Amino acid sequence: MRELIEKAQILHEALPYIRRFYGRTFVVKYGGSAMVSEELRDSFARDVVLMKYVGLNPVVVHGGGPQIDRVLEELKIPSERVQGLRVTDDRTMEVVEMVLCGKINKEIVSLIGAQGGRAIGLSGLDDAFIKAEKVPKRETESGEWVDLGRVGAIKEVRPELLKKLIKNDFIPVIASLAIGPDGRSLNLNADTTAGSIATAMRAEKLVLMTDTAGVVDGDAKLIDSLTASEIARLRQEGVIKGGMIPKVECALDALKGGVNKCHIIDGRMRHAILLEIFTDRGIGTEIIHGKD
């Protein structure tokens, strides 16, 4: 009986958040361990479907770096990254499109469908709703300047297609590709894609799933909440570094673009999205508008 009462208390705790966020759009960047573990994949799909059934409008954005790496290795195609971006020639781009659109995207759509949701898989190529241009050359650690090939920087997100899908009760599942000025596809960073879509949709929240607890301080303790000025200080002190830097930059850009709040959460935890959104304490780091 005590267990049943505790479950009822959890629902009571969630009610104010369900009421507050009803009808609002949540953009979730899905990646890392949550995409690999079968248990976590099923948990993620259930969470997204539950969000939809209680009146929220989830939009899922995904990458697929590890899966692309694996296929490139199997095909003996060399893979190189510069400043965190994959050098993408035509041959590599074929693999990127095959893995992102042909495999991962449809797997996510199927997982959501198996949990009773209605999902539609697409990429920025569909209706050309994400437009990008080639990124400029980047400098390697050795000082050499490299053309990254078909890697894009987003110039425009046209949200009308997504809004129509949401209005018809679909959950959009988006692979991080865009169309370039010449009509060819360009490879995008998934975090940046999610942030740009959240901005274009005027989303209530942007949620970035990672393989870390969130942003941690110098003692490896989770930081619950951060503003832009606090992030700047922690970066200067070397506390925020490495792969966390582009994630907080993505979150800050989304806030500047009109997103209400951003969250960096641990995708290795079951029901991570629900715990962050529908509980008083949350589990990750929220990045919020400050007075600074």
Least confident stretch, 92-96, 119-123, 158-162, 219-223: 219-223
17 falls within a domain: yes
Range of the domain at 87: 9-287
- Per-residue pLDDT of 147-168, as tens digits, reads 899 999 999 999 999 999 999 9
CATH number at residue 141: 3.40.1160.10
279 falls within a domain: yes
Count structural domains, the chain. 1
Burial of 109 (0-12, 13-18, 19+ CB in 10 A): buried
**Mean pLDDT, all residues of the chain:** 91
Give the mean model confidence (pLDDT) for residues 83-93.
90
249 falls within a domain: yes
pLDDT > 80? residue 141: no
Share of the chain above pLDDT 70, in %: 96
Query: What's the number of CA atoms in the CB half-sphere (13 Å) around residue 173?
Result: 25
1 falls within a domain: no
Q: Which residues pair with 85 in a beta bridge?
A: 82
Q: What is the pLDDT of residue 4?
A: 56
Give the mean model confidence (pLDDT) for residues 201-217.
93
Whole-prediction pTM? 0.93
49 falls within a domain: yes
Task: Dig out the tokens for 47 from the structure.
Answer: 């969470």
2 falls within a domain: no
d(CA 191, CA 254): 11
